[in-house]
Structure 1
Amino acid sequence: MFKHFIRLQWKSFFRSSSFGKGIALKILMIFFGLYMLAALVITGSGIYFVLQELFPDQSPMWTLNQYLVYWILMEMFFRYFLQKLPVMDIKPFLIVPIHKSKITHYILGRSGVSIYNLFAIFFFLPFAIVLLFKGYAALNVLLWLLSIFAIVLCINYVNFLINKSDKALFVIIGLILTFYALDYFQIVPIKEFFGPTFHGLYAYPLAFLAPIGLAFIVYWLNYRFLRNRLFLDDSLKTKKQEAKSSDLAWTRRFGDIAPFLQLDLKLIWRNKRTKAQVFISLLFVFYGLIFYTQDIYANMMPMFAFLGIFMTGIFLANFGQFIPAWDSAYYSMMMSQNIPLRKYLDSKAGLISVSVVVMFLLTIPYVYFGWEALAINFGSALYNLGVNIPVILYFGSFNKKRIELDKSPFGNMQGTSGTQFLIMLPVLGAPILIFTIFHFIFSVEVAVAVLSIMGIVGFMFKNKLLDAITEQYRKKKYGMIAGFKEKNS
């Protein structure tokens, strides 16, 4: 039966509407994954010698075990955001004679072979090999390594249970900050408290039974949790909540794009994830204080260019990269109506343009740190308006993954694909590279002028660029509709 499930998942992967769009992208992501694994192997092989040099009076094994508590917490933190839990469309299987236990074991089994589990293995396995060459007891090292693998599985299945809980995320963050503060201010020696516990997995071989037993317990809890929810009517219950409405009459002054602008503003205000994007963007206005107040960055003008593009374009990046996936729930309905696609894109461009202007106005107080900061932010804002808005709208035509707006904004990776990572190269990397080149060859003034001129030129050709982007959306129309209908994409 497991073989049959794997074959069905394999067919689903290749027949997905999002598969054909990005063969090159998938290959690139594979190479990136291989690079990460290679980096982990190199790090795992060399960490013994690094720890030996940094702490010459301690055994590298002892030192590493002291930091394992932080590794566990950080692993859970990053998995909460990055790890995509294995899903399969189980409803068709619930009406055929297939045991629910087999479906549950298959889902949990897929989670056990996650790429995130391989990351830990590719780090600790080379470290264990070095330990063997350095004369550590072979049996103790192997059982310690087995214990680490069991801990990795525990983290994996705990994440399976808490991934939907925002409270769990806050608890993890609170533990990381609390432990670090207690260690940093020497209130409680956290490393010295947990270090002997993890070192005991090496010193006492039979101790490996504890993490293995814990892994089985967590697996069993996951099994019970999933097994008791495999029912056709489990998803029929809906939450009741009071609806809030506003006519947004002031938007009518924007003419033909007013209806679309009203939809966008209501969408942003009524949904958790989009509303979170607004608050996150406003918080990042203070991001510059981290760099402007440090003397080490005083002469690093390329860093100021990064801040300018990032702070004035944070909403552009956060909101714009998921256009039109924000409207995925009703995108097929919109495309079946007599709705001008160009006006739809004009409304998106107008909304993002307003955000860039507002964010620039909020960064004006940074002139306190020098006129260069204000000038770079101004040039960056013009570049975002003229160049990055068309770029982000163009890349939006490759979005085919559905977004459920009623889901929690914390750790929600719906709609995220390799496109969201690649888009940062032209949006963030290109202007910083351009600024850096002209700054080193000429001066800050010339670099700011180049960014500003590029933005103005892009704004002058706005209509032609949007016409070309509209045609791109028309070509991708049916593929996007099909992709947005896949709720597990």
Structure 2
Amino acid sequence: MIAHFLRLEWKQYFRAPYWQKSIGIKIFMGFFALYFIAMFLGMGFGLFPVLKKAYPDQDPFTIVNQALFYWISADLAVRFFLQKLPVMTVKPFLTLPVKRSKIVNFVLTKSIFSFFNFLPLFFAIPFSIVLIGKGYDPTQVWTWFGFIFLVTHVINMLNFFLENLMAKSELSILPIVGILGLLSGLNHYQVIPLSDLTASGITAILETPVYLLIVIGMLVVLYISNYRSLKNKLYVDSAVQVKIKEAKTSDLSWTRRFGDIAPFMQLDLRLIMRNKRTKSTLFILVIGLLYGLFFYPQPVYRDMEFFYSFIGIFSTGSFLINFGQFIPAWDSGYYKMLMSQNFEYKRYLESKFVLMSMSVVLLFVFGIPYVYFGWKILLVHFAAMIYNIGVNTHVIMYGGSFNRKKINLDQKAAFNYQGTGAVQWLIGIPLMVIPMGLFAALNYFINFEVAVTVLIALGLLGIVFHTKIMKTITKKYIKSKYKMIGAFDQDN
């Protein structure tokens, strides 16, 4: 039966209509995977001598064990946002004499072959070989390798459990991010030395390998929990049952002050709050606001003035970039109906512009505390705000006129390239690379003040000539309207 499932999965994969459409993305992801494999291999062979040179008085093996707390946290977070859980089309099997237990076991076993489970091995295997070559006890080294292998699969099953829990209870992803952030903060400020506790636990396992049974027990418990959860869902009634939810309305009366574009703003805000794919833009907005905290607390980045522009553009424009790059594909499901209405197209586009501009201003205001790291940082963020409003909003809206991919709003955004085309890959050049390169060049060859002034001046020019620019963009959308309608109808 397992072999039969595998054959069906193989046929489904290569016969799916998206296979030919997304082959370019698959090639890109292949190179992306090779890059990480090479990086992990390099770390596996080179980390020991690097740590020995940097910390001559400490044991590199102990340092790695202390860092495993951060690896476990990061691995869980990355899997949660990027790993696609294994699925299969089960509805046809529910009316056939196929045991539900076999279907569930196949789905769970399939998760073992995830790329995320293999990636740590490209570090653990060469690092274990280096440790043995340096004279460490082979029994302890291979016990450590077994621990890494088991913990990787524990994280995989834990991610599976959290995904099912969130799907069942409709919890937000923010509590999970908050918990991981809180634990990291407690460890960083030594309130609870979780790194030391992790290293002590690993040392105990190395000295008494029988403690690996505890990790194995965790893996078994999570597997059984996921097994029961999935098996309870595999019923014909649950597969065809229509879930009825009460529509929640929000008070959007404040949008009326924007005049005739208010109905379109309300439509966008409701779309963002009610769909899985668009809700991710709200999370990215939070990430953008806190993005500077990944860099500014470290003195090495505070000395890199040219890097301020990149952080400023992304921090104040995170919503602009993630929401704007899919205009008008967000409305692709009802775009034909929308275009049959009697309204001025410019109003439709102006509502997008106002929404993105508001997000840029709000992100800058909430990011004012970055002045703690230096007034230059706040000044660049202000310049980035003006540049985003005056230049990047127009750039991304013009790029949207080339969108021809329909978006399924019910799908998750993490690692989901449905609806992604060449436009989304190329738009990053004018959005990020050009302003960063311009700022860096002016800052290097002239001075910091001139670099900031030029960014502000370009943004102000875009604001001053906004009306004329929008007329050009509107004409491009109207010219492409019927091509978009046809593409959105065909791209299912």
TM-score clears 0.5: yes
Corresponding residue of 1:263: 267
The yes-or-no answer on 1:75 pairing with 2:80 is no
Preserved contact between residue 397 and residue 472 of structure 1 (Cα < 8 Å) = no
SS at match of 2:116: helix
Aligned partners of 2:237, 2:349: CA distance in 1, in Å?
39
SS at match of 2:120: helix
Distance 1:377 1:225, change over 3 A: same
Corresponding residue of 1:305: 309
Corresponding residue of 2:215: 211
Structure 2 unaligned residues grouped into runs of 5+: none
**CA deviations over 1:417-458 (Å, ceiling 9, x no partner):** 676676544322321112212332334455345545655368
Give the drift of 1:161. Answer: 0.5
Corresponding residue of 2:471: 463
SS at match of 2:243: coil
Aligned partners of 2:142, 2:98: CA distance in 1, in Å?
39
Aligned partners of 1:90, 1:383: CA distance in 2, in Å?
46
CA-atom RMSD, angstroms?
4.3
Distance 1:223 1:475, change over 3 A: same
Corresponding residue of 2:235: 231
Corresponding residue of 2:483: 475
Larger deviation, residues 106-115 vs 266-275: 266-275
Preserved contact between residue 21 and residue 398 of structure 1 (Cα < 8 Å) = no
> 2:436 is matched by which residue type in structure 1?
I
SS at match of 2:155: helix
Aligned partners of 2:98, 2:45: CA distance in 1, in Å?
46
Larger deviation, residues 261-270 vs 356-365: 356-365
Equivalence map 1:88-237=2 (5 Å): 88-163=88-163, 164-165=165-166, 166=171, 170=175, 173-174=178-179, 177-178=182-183, 181=186, 184-185=189-190, 189-234=193-238, 236=241
Aligned partners of 1:142, 1:292: CA distance in 2, in Å?
39
Preserved contact between residue 80 and residue 169 of structure 1 (Cα < 8 Å) = no
Aligned partners of 1:287, 1:335: CA distance in 2, in Å?
38
Larger deviation, residues 24-33 vs 200-209: 200-209
SS at match of 1:86: coil
Aligned partners of 1:16, 1:278: CA distance in 2, in Å?
31
Corresponding residue of 2:45: 45
The yes-or-no answer on 1:403 pairing with 2:409 is yes
Q: 2:391 aligned to 362, 381, 386, which one?
A: 386
Give the drift of 1:43. Answer: 0.7
Aligned partners of 1:289, 1:36: CA distance in 2, in Å?
24
The yes-or-no answer on 1:437 pairing with 2:434 is no
Distance 1:207 1:328, change over 3 A: farther
**CA deviations over 1:386-441 (Å, ceiling 9, x no partner):** 34443256258255442239x8xxxx638556766765443223211122123323
Length-normalised TM-score, structure 2: 0.78
Give the drift of 1:83. Answer: 1.7
Aligned partners of 1:121, 1:78: CA distance in 2, in Å?
16
Q: Which has the higher contact order (CA 8 A, sep 6+)?
A: 1
Preserved contact between residue 68 and residue 198 of structure 1 (Cα < 8 Å) = no
Aligned partners of 2:141, 2:249: CA distance in 1, in Å?
61
Distance 1:454 1:340, change over 3 A: same
Aligned partners of 1:372, 1:316: CA distance in 2, in Å?
20
Preserved contact between residue 345 and residue 470 of structure 1 (Cα < 8 Å) = no
SS at match of 2:410: coil
> What's the % identity of the aligned pairs?
37
Structure 1 unaligned residues grouped into runs of 5+: none
The yes-or-no answer on 1:31 pairing with 2:31 is yes
The yes-or-no answer on 1:64 pairing with 2:64 is yes
Aligned partners of 1:194, 1:247: CA distance in 2, in Å?
49
Larger deviation, residues 36-45 vs 168-177: 168-177
Aligned partners of 1:103, 1:136: CA distance in 2, in Å?
44
Corresponding residue of 2:352: 348
Aligned partners of 2:145, 2:370: CA distance in 1, in Å?
51
